[in-house]
Structure 1
Amino acid sequence: MPLPQSASPVSRAPLAEGAVRHVTFLLLDRFSLLSFSGAVECLRIANRVAGSTLYTWSLTGDGGETKTCSAGVTFTLDDDLGDPPRDATILVCGGIDVAEASSKRVLNWLRREARRGSVIGGLCTAAVTLARAGLLEDKRATIHWENQDGFAEEFDDVELTRRVFCIDGNRMTTAGGTASIDLMLRLIARDQGEDIANAVADQLIYSSIRTDQDQQRLSTPTRIGVRHPKLAQVIQRMEAYIEEPISPATLATEVGLSTRQLERLFRRYLNRSPKRYYMELRLGRARNLLMQTDMSVINVALACGFTSPSHFSKCYRAHYQTTPYRERGSHGQGD
């Protein structure tokens, strides 16, 4: 099983024979257990299949002696934002409410390590932490698809991608979930060779290794369970034009259908009209922005194609049984 080639290698030379790479995991409050454990397991298994210590690792965090992940499991830290070994790779583990977990002390520590030339990565939502520390400026990055809308609004100096992981020089980001495994396999291949990386993948029963060219979400037809090509094209156009919605008539013309034919396709496959489906997409984007950013409700409305705040509030309440203002308040965000 040859490991796929990456178009964006980390700017660090392969390890010399016998050398040991250290990885420091910076655990944020309510970090994702799956992203963290996937990365750690890759290192552990690499040592096992090699029959020697290729990697060591440690856990650090801001304050206290422990950190608890979003699943409620608590981990003991090795230090309180101490000094990583020279040439250590730092992986920040994010999860729920990552902006709140990205404390000033964490950001300053990351800036210090960046000045020392450290390779720094963000797992799951930790791209937010890296961006807030100024470490992703003018770089390509990725983040979990659910956080893409809020990230794009807050960090317009970052080239956001939808890939499972992204490597740009000495910065790395992943989309969460099992994407940390794909990243670690790439790094192990760089450090130790493809044979070791493939052996790790086999031990994980990980038969389909993704590269930094793979998209994190399923294709539109697969995701919605519809294989009709023209319907899929229309939905992709809808997803791309949330801020400036396109009329169903125009969408139909673009794919060579009449408005009536498009209506029939939506009714047959999705049990709703094109207008209703488009509205649900826009409201879903609005909900993400309300929960993930501090944008005002008015600006959220405009970003999702609503020119009237009152119309936005009416549509939002009809769909979610609450108002945008109450939604914002229930997640602790001020307006």
Structure 2
Amino acid sequence: MMQLTESGQPQAPMLRIGFWLMDDFDFYALANALEPLRLANQLAGRSVCEWQILSLEGQPLKAGNGIATTTARLDQVHRLDVLILCGGDNPHLQTEHPELRAQLIYWAAQPVGLGALGKAGWLLAQIGALEGFRCSLPEPIASMTSAALSELTPVAAPFCVDRKRMTCVGPQSVQGLMHELLARTHGRGLILRMEKHAARQARPLLPVHDAPEKLQATLALMGEHLKQTLGIDELADAMGISRRHLERLFKSSLGCSPSRHYLDLRLQQARRLLRAGEQSLSNVAHGCGFVSVQHFFRCYRQYFGAHPREDMGLVTTALCAG
């Protein structure tokens, strides 16, 4: 039965994804797939997706960069909506494994989405799982015959989702593929929030030299009042301009409101203090203008995707380790 939200609206079902790892898999591609899923859960405030890391035999597997990853057995997988292959640079060697080939053929016949990251897409092509589907694949591998290639319908796009098949050309396009899967289950609004969050995280917090003088002065004033914060009207009065003018300055130069940027500054300062490891959580919270520790925790988790405790003393720890 479909659950309802507090407003009485239907709640979209959870998206369940399995990542099927193979020897020497591309760790970068896997990381690029998992991060959008983690962020989607964070911004939605609930689990809108979940994932399982799988392999044929359920043993730890090493990526191409040598990092070992724990996996669960593919034949013990929980219910899935999508199964995505994550292989390495030599996928043509994988299909020589009879059990792997049999599993590929089995899953291609199941009523679940079947996809692949980068060169692993050629595994699907080799068993005929992409026939009749549009696909985005990297350069053909040497073992692909011209007859097999003629059965494909490639598209000039970083990724492609065509009914129950999902492919992408490489690690950099994986995020787009994950966004598309999330959007089809939970709507474009969630993806827009994720993109805004990423843009805010990437935005520099220091004033640039060619920024308007009033904006630079406001940023400096904010930096001087992180504990006893000033209201937006107070900031505008100090600059001798209207609130609306100040908001336009921030929007045009930094892409956000003054209050949003002020909060970013305080959170960045809080993270620096936590990593220095010299103050308690409550002192950091109050020293950065938060009225309560609970409010600080909530804002910090929404911005950084982690609890403040996870950042405590990291600089001290790194220095000791060095």
**TM-score, normalising length from structure 2?**
0.54
Matched, 1:40 2:53: no
In the alignment, does 2:84 pair up with 1:125? Answer: no
SS at match of 2:16: strand
Shift of the 201–94 alpha-carbon distance from structure 1 to 2, 3 Å rule, reads farther
* Match in the other structure for 1:232: none
TM-fit CA distance, 1:112: 1.7
Give CA-to-partner distance per residue, 1:183-222, whole Å, 9 cap, x none.
Answer: 1111111111112112223344499xxxxxxxxxxxxxxx
1:196 aligns with 2:199: no
Q: Displacement of 1:71 after TM fit?
A: 1.4
Pair 1:179 & 2:173 matched = yes
Equivalent residue number for residue 79 of structure 2 = 86
Measure, in 2, the Cα distance between the counterparts of 1:76 and 1:185. Answer: 25
2:118 and 2:169 in contact (8 A); partners too: yes
The SS at the match of 1:82 is: helix
Which residues in structure 2 correspond to 1:1-335 (within 5 Å)? 17=11, 19-63=13-57, 65-79=59-73, 81-102=74-95, 103-145=97-139, 147=140, 151=144, 153=146, 154-205=148-199
Deviates more, 1:36-45 or 1:16-25: 16-25
CA distance in structure 1 between the partners assigned to 2:156 and 2:175 by the alignment: 17
* 2:72 aligned counterpart, secondary structure: coil
Does structure 2 conserve the Cα–Cα contact (< 8 Å) formed by 1:45 and 1:203? no
Segments of 5+ residues of structure 1 without an aligned counterpart are: 1-15, 208-335
Matched to 1:187, the amino acid is: L
Question: Contact (CA 8 Å) 1:114, 1:135: kept in 2 or not?
Answer: yes
Cα separation, 2, equivalents of 1:195 and 1:84: 30
| Aligned equivalents of 2:62, 2:129: Cα separation in 1 | 25
User: Contact (CA 8 Å) 1:123, 1:175: kept in 2 or not?
Assistant: yes
Tell me the number of residue pairs that the alignment of Structure 1 and Structure 2 aligns.
Answer: 190
Retained in 2: the 8 A contact 1:108–1:133?
Answer: no
**1:91 Cα deviation from its structure 2 partner:** 0.7
Larger radius of gyration: 2
What code does the residue aligned with 1:75 have?
T
Tell me how far 1:31 sits from its aligned partner.
1.4
Distance 1:65 1:204, change over 3 A: farther
**What is the percent sequence identity of the aligned residues?**
24
Question: 1:189 & 1:128 partners in 2: Cα distance?
Answer: 26
Computed over aligned residues only, the root mean square deviation of the Cα atoms, in angstroms, reads 2.4
Distance in 1 of aligned mates of 2:62 and 2:80: 27
Does the residue aligned with 2:171 lie in a helix, a strand or coil? Answer: coil
CA distance in 2, matches of 1:97, 1:75: 19
- Is the Cα contact below 8 Å between 2:160 and 2:167 reproduced in 1? yes
CA distance in 1, matches of 2:145, 2:198: 33
- Partner residue, 1:328: none
Structure 1 pair 28/182, CA: closer, same or farther in 2 (3 Å)? same
Task: Report the Cα offset of residue 18 of structure 1.
Answer: 5.2
* C-alpha contact 1:107 1:132 (8 A) present in aligned 2: no
1:85 Cα deviation from its structure 2 partner: 3.4
SS of equivalent to 2:53: strand
The one of the two structures with greater contact order (alpha-carbon pairs below 8 A, sep at least 6) is 1
- Check conservation: 1:23, 1:56, Cα contact below 8 A: yes
Check the 8 A contact 1:89/1:118 in 2, yes or no: yes
Structure 2, gaps ≥5 residues long: 1-9, 202-322
Within 2, Cα distance between the matches of 1:200 and 1:78? 29
Q: How far 1:129 moved relative to its partner? A: 1.0
The code of the aligned residue for 2:81 comes to A
